[in-house]
C-alpha cells in the first residue's frame, strides 16, 4: 500500500470519528434547568443512576474521576494493592489514606464500603493489645460504613452492616464488657442520644430497622435471605434483654425489655416473607395450614372406602425388592450405612399420599375426593415450608423465651441465681447458699410450667455452672449436697449436650477434694 492510500485512509478515519462525535455529543447532553438533557441523561434519571439520585455529590470525588482520564479502574486496582501492602506492614495511617482515595474513585461500589468496613472493625482492630485501641478501630470501621451511606442513600446492605457491627461486634467480642461501657461513654459517636438509649444492641437495631424500611419501600435486597434480614432487629432486642440480665438488671426494666422483644418477635411472625417457592409466608401461620390439612384429610377419609390406606401400604410393601425389604425389616440400631440410605428411600416409597387415596374413590365422589386431596397436599406443602423457615431462625424457641422471660417467677429465678453467683465469687458462702437454694426452687417452678426450656443447651450450661458453685459452697460449709437434687433433670440434660461435668452429687469429698471458691473478678478485665 502506497503512502497516498495510507493518507487517504487516515483522513477517512478522522471524518468517521468526527461524524460519530456529533450524535454522541447529542446523546450525552447533561440535564440543565432549561433542558432535560440528552437520551443518556434521561435514562440515568429514569433508572435512578445519577449521583444525585444515589447520594451526595462529592466535588473531590468527581475531580479525581476526571483526573484519571478514563482509567479509574486501573487507578483503583493500584490503590487496592497499596492498601493491602500498608495493612501487611501495619502502616495504619497510609492504609487509611489509601481507603479514602479508593472511596473517592468508587463511591457507588458498595462492596468497597462493606469489605473495608468489616476489615477495619474485625481484622485490624484485633491487631492492637489495648482494648481502647481495639474499640477505636471498631468505631472507625462503623464510621467508614456511615460515610458510605452518604453516597448510597438507599442501600440497605450498608445500613444493615452498620447495625450488625454495632450490635454484634461490640456486644459479642471477648472485650464486650469494656466495649459496651466505652460505647455508652462515647459522646462523639452517640451525640445527643440519651444515656439510657446508648446500648449497642438498641443503637444497632435502629440501623437494622432503617435498612428494613428501605427494603419495604421496594429497594431490592441483595446478599442475604429476607428471613435472616428481617430477623436481626427482633434478635437485637432479645440480645439486649440478655445483656441486661447478665449485667444484673432485673425487675420492671428487664420485664419491659422482654415485652418489647416479644412484640418485635410477634411483628416478625406476622410479616410477609418471600420464599424460594415463589410465594410469601407468615411464620405464625403454620398451625393454620396444619388445621386446614387436617380438615381436608378428614373429608378425604370420609369419601375413601374403609381400609384403602392399609391396602395401598400393603401393595407398596409387597412391591419392594429383596434388598429394600431387608433394610425395612432390620432394626434401626443394626442398620449399616448403606441400609440407612435404603431405609430412608423405602420410607418415602411406603408413604401413602393424599392423591393416591383419592384415586381409590370412584363414582360421583371422585372429583370431590380429588379436591380434598389437593387442598390437603397444598396445605401440607405450605406448612412444611413455614416449618423449614422457622427452623432456620429457631423461631419456636425464641417465641417461648419471649413468653416465659417476662414472668415474675423467671425474673426472680434469674436474679436469685445471679446474686448467688455474685456472693460465691465474693466468698460470701452463707449468702450464696441461701440465694442458690431459693433460685433453684424458683427454676423448678419455671421448668415444670415450661419443660421445653430444658432443650436449651445455653440455659442448662448456665444452671450447671451455678450448681457447681452451689456444690462448692456446701462442701466448704461441710454440708451434704441435697438428695434427690431439685434440678437433677437439668444436670442430666446438660450431660447430653456437653458431657458429664459434675461428680457424684451425693458424695461428700475429703478436705483435699474440696473446691475453693474463685476470687472475685475485677470490674474490668485486662485483655490478653
Judged against a pLDDT cut of 50, whether residue 479 lies above it is answered with: yes
Region of residue 485 (left: phi > 0; alpha: psi -120 to 50; beta: else): beta
For every residue of 186-237, DSSP letters joined together read: -HHHHTT--GGG--HHHHHHHHHHHHHHHHHTTPPP-SS-HHHHHHHHHHHH
User: Where is pLDDT greater, at 115 or 245?
Assistant: 245
Q: How far apart are CA 266 and CA 220, in angstroms?
A: 24
pLDDT band at 528 (very low <50, low <70, confident <90, very high): very low
Helix/strand/coil for 273: strand
pLDDT digits (tens, 9 = 90+) for 340-399: 999 999 888 888 899 989 998 888 889 999 999 999 999 999 999 999 999 999 999 999
pLDDT class of 18 with cuts at 50, 70, 90: confident
Confidence label for 519 from pLDDT (cuts 50, 70 and 90): very low
Phi then psi for 280, rounded to 5 degrees?
-95, 155
pLDDT at residue 20 in the model: 76
Q: What is the DSSP string of 485-510?
A: -TTHHHHHHHHHHH---S--TT----
Reduced to 3 states (helix: H, G, I; strand: E, B; else coil), residue 320 is: coil
Over residues 38-43, the mean pLDDT reads 62
Q: Smallest Cα–Cα separation from 281: which of 407, 197, 374, 386?
A: 386
DSSP secondary structure letter of residue 319: T
> In whole angstroms, what is the distance from residue 397 CA to residue 101 CA?
47
Mean pLDDT across 176-205 = 94
CA dihedral 59, 64, 70, 76 (to 10 degrees): -120
- pLDDT score of 400 more than 80: yes
Closest Cα to residue 295, out of 196, 231, 380?
A: 380
Query: Would the pLDDT of 14 be above 60?
Result: yes
Grid cell in block for residue 354? 393424599
The reply to whether omega before 484 is within 30° of 0 (cis) is yes
Going through 430-483 in order, the beta strands assigned E by DSSP cover none
Higher pLDDT, 42 or 396: 396
User: What's residue 154's pLDDT?
Assistant: 83
3-state SS, residue 274: strand
Query: What percent of the chain stands above pLDDT 70?
Result: 85
Task: In whole angstroms, give the CA distance from residue 464 to residue 417.
Answer: 11
Q: For 47-81, what is each residue's pLDDT tens digit?
A: 555 444 444 444 455 555 545 555 667 777 788 78
Vertex 339: Cα angle to 333 and 343 (nearest 5): 85
Mean pLDDT of the chain: 85
Angle at 83 (CA atoms; ends 66, 159), nearest 5 degrees: 80
pLDDT at 37: 66
281: helix, strand or coil: strand
Rounded Cα distance, 207 and 201, in Å = 10
Please give the pLDDT value at position 515: 44
Q: What are the tens digits of pLDDT across the range 433-458?
A: 999 999 999 999 999 999 999 988 98
Amino acid at each position: 500500500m502506497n503512502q497516498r492510500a495510507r493518507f487517504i485512509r487516515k483522513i477517512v478515519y478522522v471524518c468517521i470519528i468526527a461524524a460519530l462525535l456529533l450524535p454522541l455529543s447529542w446523546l450525552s447532553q447533561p440535564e440543565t434547568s432549561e433542558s432535560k438533557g440528552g437520551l443518556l441523561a434521561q435514562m440515568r434519571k429514569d433508572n435512578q443512576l445519577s449521583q444525585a439520585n444515589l447520594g451526595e455529590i462529592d466535588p473531590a470525588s468527581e475531580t479525581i474521576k476526571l483526573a484519571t482520564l478514563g482509567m479509574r479502574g486501573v487507578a483503583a486496582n493500584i490503590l487496592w494493592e497499596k492498601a493491602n501492602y500498608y495493612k501487611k506492614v501495619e502502616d495504619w495511617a497510609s492504609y487509611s489514606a489509601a481507603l479514602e482515595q479508593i472511596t473517592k474513585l468508587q463511591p457507588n461500589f458498595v462492596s468497597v464500603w462493606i469489605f473495608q468496613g468489616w476489615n477495619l472493625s474485625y481484622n485490624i482492630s484485633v491487631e492492637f493489645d489495648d482494648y481502647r485501641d481495639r474499640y477505636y478501630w471498631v468505631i472507625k470501621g462503623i464510621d467508614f460504613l456511615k460515610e458510605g451511606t452518604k453516597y448510597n442513600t438507599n442501600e440497605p446492605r450498608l445500613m444493615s452492616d452498620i447495625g450488625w457491627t454495632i450490635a454484634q461486634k461490640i456486644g459479642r467480642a471477648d472485650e464486650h464488657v469494656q466495649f459496651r461501657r466505652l460505647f455508652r461513654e462515647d459522646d462523639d459517636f452517640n451525640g445527643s442520644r440519651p444515656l439510657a438509649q446508648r446500648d449497642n444492641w438498641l443503637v444497632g437495631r435502629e440501623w437494622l430497622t432503617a435498612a428494613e424500611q428501605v427494603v419495604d419501600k421496594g429497594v431490592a435486597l441483595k446478599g442475604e435471605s429476607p428471613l435472616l434480614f428481617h430477623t436481626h432487629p427482633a434478635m437485637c432486642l432479645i440480645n439486649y434483654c440478655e445483656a441486661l440480665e447478665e449485667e444484673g438488671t432485673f425487675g420492671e426494666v428487664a420485664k419491659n425489655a422482654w415485652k418489647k422483644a416479644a412484640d418485635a418477635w410477634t411483628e416478625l411472625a406476622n410479616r410477609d416473607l418471600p420464599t424460594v417457592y415463589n410465594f410469601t409466608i407468615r411464620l405464625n401461620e403454620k398451625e393454620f395450614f396444619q388445621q386446614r390439612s387436617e380438615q381436608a384429610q378428614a373429608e378425604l377419609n370420609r369419601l375413601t372406602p374403609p381400609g384403602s390406606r392399609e391396602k395401598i401400604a400393603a401393595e407398596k410393601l409387597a412391591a419392594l425388592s429383596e434388598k429394600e425389604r431387608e433394610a425395612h425389616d432390620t432394626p434401626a440400631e443394626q442398620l449399616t450405612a448403606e441400609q440407612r440410605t435404603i431405609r430412608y428411600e423405602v420410607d418415602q416409597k411406603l408413604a401413602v399420599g393424599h392423591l393416591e387415596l383419592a384415586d381409590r374413590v370412584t363414582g360421583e365422589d371422585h372429583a370431590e375426593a380429588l379436591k380434598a386431596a389437593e387442598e390437603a397436599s397444598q396445605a401440607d406443602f405450605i406448612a412444611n415450608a413455614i416449618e423449614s423457615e422457622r427452623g432456620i431462625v429457631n423461631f419456636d424457641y425464641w417465641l417461648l423465651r419471649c413468653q416465659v422471660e417476662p414472668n415474675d417467677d423467671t425474673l426472680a429465678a434469674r436474679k436469685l441465681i445471679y446474686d448467688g453467683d455474685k456472693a460465691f465469687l465474693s466468698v460470701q458462702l452463707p449468702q450464696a447458699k441461701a440465694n442458690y437454694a431459693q433460685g433453684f426452687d424458683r427454676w423448678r417452678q419455671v421448668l415444670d410450667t415450661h419443660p421445653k426450656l430444658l432443650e436449651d443447651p445455653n440455659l442448662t450450661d448456665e444452671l450447671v455452672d451455678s450448681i457447681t458453685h452451689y456444690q462448692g459452697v456446701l462442701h466448704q460449709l461441710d454440708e451434704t449436697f441435697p438428695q434427690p437434687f431439685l434440678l437433677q433433670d437439668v444436670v442430666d440434660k446438660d450431660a447430653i449436650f456437653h458431657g458429664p461435668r459434675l461428680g457424684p452429687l451425693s458424695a461428700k469429698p475429703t478436705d483435699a477434694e474440696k473446691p475453693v471458691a474463685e476470687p472475685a473478678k475485677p470490674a474490668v478485665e485486662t485483655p490478653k
